[in-house]
Amino acid sequence: MEIKLNAGDRIIVPENCTATIEDKLIIIEEEQEEFKEGDILISKYSTSILIFSNYRKDGFGLFDSYFNNTNKSNSAWVVKNFRHATEEEKQTLYDSLKEQGLYWNAGKKEMERIRKRAEKGEKYLFITGRGEIVEYTEDNDYDDDEAYDLGNYFLLSERKEAEEYAKALKAIFEKRLKVIQD
C-alpha cells in the first residue's frame, strides 16, 4: 500500500503501535510487551495461561515457559500471541494450581506441591531408620521441622502412602545388604 505524503503531513500512529523510518519508509509495527522471568501471561487467542521463563535465543519471537495450564510443551510460545495477565486472570491460574495441589514459588521460580502439616498437639507419622512407621506428636520443634522438610512426615490420613514409602525404603536397604553379602 502506498500513501503519498507531502512535507508537513502527519500520520496518526494507531494505539499500541510504534513508527520507525528506514530508508525513507515509515514502518508501523505493533508494540511488543516486554516479559520478565516469572511473569504470568495469557494468550490473546485461547485460554492458555502460563508462567514466562525466557526468550529463545533463535531470534524468531519465541519464548519458553515454566508452566502452562494446557499441559502442552513449555517451549516455543509465540511472543506476539501473549500479554500480561490481569490480577483476576492470575487468580484463575493460582486457583487451578491449588486444585492440583500445587503452587508457584516465585522466589525459587519453581512449581511446588502444597504439603499439609499437623496442628500443634496433633499426631503425624514418621518412618524410622528401620522402616517402621511411628506416630509422633507435632510440637513445632526442630525435630518436627526436620522431618517435615525432609519429606518424612505424613498425616494420619496418609498412612497408606507412608506404608508404601516404608516398603520402598526397606527394599533399598535389603538390596544394599544383599550386594554387600554377595
Residue numbers of the domain that contains 161: 123-181
84 within domain boundaries:
yes
pLDDT band at 182 (very low <50, low <70, confident <90, very high): low
177 within domain boundaries:
yes
> Does 127 lie in the same domain as 92?
no
Using one digit for the tens of pLDDT, what is the confidence trace for 18-72?
888 888 788 887 777 789 999 999 999 988 999 999 998 876 789 999 999 888 8
18 within domain boundaries:
no
> Does 106 lie in the same domain as 44?
yes
Enumerate residues 6+ apart whose C-beta is below 8 A from 62. 55, 56, 76, 77, 78, 79
Among 62, 85, 113, the domain boundary falls at 113
What's the pLDDT score for residue 125? 97
77 within domain boundaries:
yes
2 within domain boundaries:
no
> Does 177 lie in the same domain as 127?
yes
pTM: 0.57
Q: Average pLDDT over the chain, rounded to whole?
A: 89
> Does 174 lie in the same domain as 133?
yes
Among 113, 139, 167, the domain boundary falls at 113
Q: How many residues in total does the chain contain?
A: 182
> Does 145 lie in the same domain as 105?
no
Total of domains in the chain: 2
> Does 103 lie in the same domain as 149?
no
64 within domain boundaries:
yes
> Does 108 lie in the same domain as 73?
yes
Using one digit for the tens of pLDDT, what is the confidence trace for 133-145?
999 999 999 999 9
What's the pLDDT score for residue 100? 84
